[in-house]
Structure 1
Amino acid sequence: MSNTSNKMMDTWAAGGEALGTWLSMASSHSAEIAGRAGFDYVCVDMQHGVADYQVAVTMMQAIELGGGTPIVRVPWNEPGIIGRVLDAGARGVIIPMVNSVGEATAAVAACKYPPLGARSFGPILAAARAAAGESYFDVANATSACIPMIETRQAVDSLDDILAVEGVDAIYVGPADLSISYGYGPGYSDEHDEYKATLEHIAQRCAAHGVVAGIHSTAALSADRRGKGFRMQTVAGDAMALGRGMALDLRTARESGVSAVGSDADSAIY
């Protein structure tokens, strides 16, 4: 994949919806599987997931090998780690707890090269993946997404100012922390009218500013979030999918009295 090609951002540019998956486990094997699954992006979570930097690098390589678009949620709004994951090939960075215009400006500065930002040049792996004759520097700002997280009431109150910062390509709602901020505890809080109205407000303000509205979601919630105007949704994740899949196989095996030899040949362990 050339650095001029970012499936997630290309989808946004065409007015479409990007659906992605989330990697909390530190495994290049599962990362490659996710990369082959057809998602518009695959996010390596370095904030609450267990991957450190070196493992995240190998996971991004595996996602690329599988044909996917790797992005990373960094641990915090800090230019060192943001620059490092971009240099290693991340096509976008999700940045936690951006609550003000100053913090959004700092996020853009870390993600983008001058004159838009202040990112230091040294794309050790990212540039190596560019097509022959292609300049990574020339395309990096347009093909590396800066995605601040909106996770607090304070961020919602400052939303228009955050969205007005040049270089913010999308925002990403962290529903658990946003719910906590509104006094409902961790979760999606869809039973509360105030929370639902807040999500609608976020999506509406994003549309008004021409910024993509993103959210941590589920497959079951995707229709609701789509209806509210969110055009970036994480609808799956490695740890939960593994747990659900294993539990389903165990339940099926215990409840079934009929042998189905050969019916799952593609999933056999060789």
Structure 2
Amino acid sequence: MSRFSAAALTVVLTCITLQAYAQTTASADPYSNNADAGKTQFPLAALAGKDSGAITTAPPAAINQGPFDPAKWKYGPAYDISPDTPIWNPVMIKMIKGDKITGGTVFSTDTPETYCAMANAGYDFIWTEMQHNARDWDAVGRMWKACPHAKAVPGVRVAYTDEREIQHAMDLGALVIVIPTVRSVEEGTAARDWTMYPPLGKRSLGGGQAFDPLVWGNVPGGYRNTINKNVVLVEMIETLEGVKDARAIAAIPGVTAIFAASGDLANFSGYKMGSPDYERLINIVHDAALGAGKRLCGPFAWRDRPDFTCFQSASEIVAIGRGVGDELGPLKDTQGKPTAGPYAPKK
């Protein structure tokens, strides 16, 4: 093959690759139709240069008549789904059944290879740590995109109750959202609002990786229409103020589970696990979950504690160490012991 023909073939293959990429990502780009000028008609548009009076008067066929009032707005059917559309998130299916659910923690890595190894290790979801880690959302997106349909679905603990943080997570394809340090019903409601689309929440329709056909773009019923019923929202009770409002937080529509935070409830209370004051706090959270009919989460060490069905497991560092120990058995840590050099015992 000549140099020219090889170069031409490279150009053709590149064009085909780019075209295929554009086709698979078009639905993930909310602005892909903005170039269609001249193709859209506007039969109900205001007349040029004239006030339409729409603030007080609706078109005759409109459902919402009378002066415009957001508080009285009747939400439309644009995103209705068939009642027989199945739940497609495996974690939500187990949540509904009350089965025990495990989340493997990805704490330190930002490499897709390590993430995918954890995601295929046997957990139900991956708890991607963003509260106590300095990685950015680009790194998270690369990890999740590398194996979106791994055994464990992508999940994340965001930094705090924040529109930007939660919508970044959702737009990248999170199916489990964990909200830390929820101190009040107002914070819990805000977390729900940024997680869910209207009418239940206030999430903006901004496209993103979640809409990619290689991620959730081809799910039954469509991603936008069904994600409110599929995303698992876990709100963490970690402070004394959160414990006080635990019943109201658990009762928020859209919250799937509440998490009794073992470490921070000790941190904020001054009492260690097992002490009467500490256990009282955990039991208040327990009672709140049961009273609201929601699932109750905690550390994996509590997998045999009554009524706990959702657990955060160890980090990838611990999991690797334990896995190697299981694999090597008595051969673990039987390295040779030189008397000289960097591996020699320190004197």
User: What TM-score, normalized by structure 2, do the two folds share?
Assistant: 0.65
Kept in 2: contact 1:24–1:51 (CA 8 A): no
User: What residue in structure 2 maps to residue 208 of structure 1?
Assistant: 291
Match of 1:59 among 113, 118, 143: 143
Q: CA deviation at 1:214?
A: 1.1
One-letter code aligned to 1:202: V
Match of 2:318 among 228, 234, 240: 240
Distance 1:202 1:116 in 2: 24
Q: CA deviation at 1:12?
A: 0.9
Q: Secondary structure at the match of 1:64?
A: coil
Single out whichever of 196-205 and 149-158 deviates more from structure 2: 196-205
Match of 1:38 among 112, 115, 122: 122
User: What residue in structure 2 maps to residue 125 of structure 1?
Assistant: 209
Kept in 2: contact 1:163–1:211 (CA 8 A): yes
More helix by share: 1
Structure 1 residue 194 and structure 2 residue 277: aligned? yes
Single out whichever of 246-255 and 164-173 deviates more from structure 2: 246-255
Return closer, same or farther for 1:109/1:254 CA change in 2, 3 Å cut-off: closer
Match of 1:141 among 228, 235, 247: 228
Distance 1:66 1:145 in 2: 17
Which structure 2 segments of 5+ residues have no match? Answer: 1-85, 337-347
Distance 2:261 2:221 in 1: 35
Q: CA deviation at 1:254?
A: 4.6
User: What residue in structure 2 maps to residue 181 of structure 1?
Assistant: 268
Q: CA deviation at 1:200?
A: 2.6
Match of 2:303 among 210, 213, 222: 222
1:187-218 per-residue CA deviation (whole Å, 9 max, x = no partner) reads xx333122223223312220120111112x13
Match of 2:248 among 161, 165, 169: 161
Distance 1:11 1:22 in 2: 19
User: What residue in structure 1 maps to residue 182 of structure 2?
Assistant: 98
Q: CA deviation at 1:250?
A: 11
User: What residue in structure 2 maps to residue 109 of structure 1?
Assistant: 193
Structure 1 residue 5 and structure 2 residue 83: aligned? no
Distance 2:135 2:321 in 1: 19
Q: Secondary structure at the match of 2:155?
A: strand
Q: Secondary structure at the match of 2:224?
A: helix
User: What TM-score, normalized by structure 1, do the two folds share?
Assistant: 0.82
User: What residue in structure 2 maps to residue 18 of structure 1?
Assistant: 101
Q: Secondary structure at the match of 2:314?
A: strand
Return closer, same or farther for 1:204/1:58 CA change in 2, 3 Å cut-off: same
User: What residue in structure 2 maps to residue 266 of structure 1?
Assistant: none
1:120-176 per-residue CA deviation (whole Å, 9 max, x = no partner) reads 012322122232673211101111122221101110011111112212111123221
1:13-65 per-residue CA deviation (whole Å, 9 max, x = no partner) reads 11211111111022221110111112111111111134211111122223524
User: What residue in structure 1 maps to residue 51 of structure 2?
Assistant: none
Kept in 2: contact 1:23–1:49 (CA 8 A): no
Distance 1:37 1:247 in 2: 15
Return closer, same or farther for 1:163/1:32 CA change in 2, 3 Å cut-off: same
User: What residue in structure 1 maps to residue 309 of structure 2?
Assistant: 231
Select the structure of larger CA radius of gyration.
Answer: 2
Match of 1:75 among 159, 164, 167: 159
User: What residue in structure 2 maps to residue 261 of structure 1?
Assistant: none
Return closer, same or farther for 1:63/1:47 CA change in 2, 3 Å cut-off: farther
Single out whichever of 114-123 and 246-255 deviates more from structure 2: 246-255
Relative contact order (C-alpha < 8 Å, sep 6+): which is higher? 1
Kept in 2: contact 1:46–1:56 (CA 8 A): no
Single out whichever of 56-65 and 243-252 deviates more from structure 2: 243-252
1:208-233 per-residue CA deviation (whole Å, 9 max, x = no partner) reads 20111112x13x4422x3x2x11110
Q: CA deviation at 1:69?
A: 0.7
Distance 1:240 1:148 in 2: 25
Distance 1:52 1:245 in 2: 28
User: What residue in structure 1 maps to residue 76 of structure 2?
Assistant: none
Distance 2:146 2:125 in 1: 13
